[in-house]
Chain A
Amino acid sequence: GAGVSQSPRYKVAKRGQDVALRCDPISGHVSLFWYQQALGQGPEFLTYFQNEAQLDKSGLPSDRFFAERPEGSVSTLKIQRTQQEDSAVYLCASSLAGAGYGYTFGSGTRLTVV
Chain B
Amino acid sequence: SQQGEEDPQALSIQEGENATMNCSYKTSINNLQWYRQNSGRGLVHLILIRSNEREKHSGRLRVTLDTSKKSSSLLITASRAADTASYFCATVEGQGAQKLVFGQGTRLTINP
Contacts and interface: CB of A to CB of B under 8 A. Distances in A.
Nearest to B103: A42
10 contacts: A42-B105, A43-B43, A44-B102, A48-B99, A50-B98, A99-B92, A100-B31, A102-B45, A102-B48, A107-B42
B20 to A, nearest CB: 19
B42 A31 contact: no
Contacts of B4: 42
Interface residues of A, number: 27
Contact of A55 (B30, B33, B45, B98): B98
Report the contact-size class of chain B (Cβ under 8 Å from the partner): 20 to 34
A66 interface: no
A41 B101 CA distance: 12
A67 interface: no
A106 B42 contact: yes
Nearest to B88: A42
B69 interface: no
Nearest to A56: B99
Contacts of B105: 41-42
Contacts of A93: 42-43
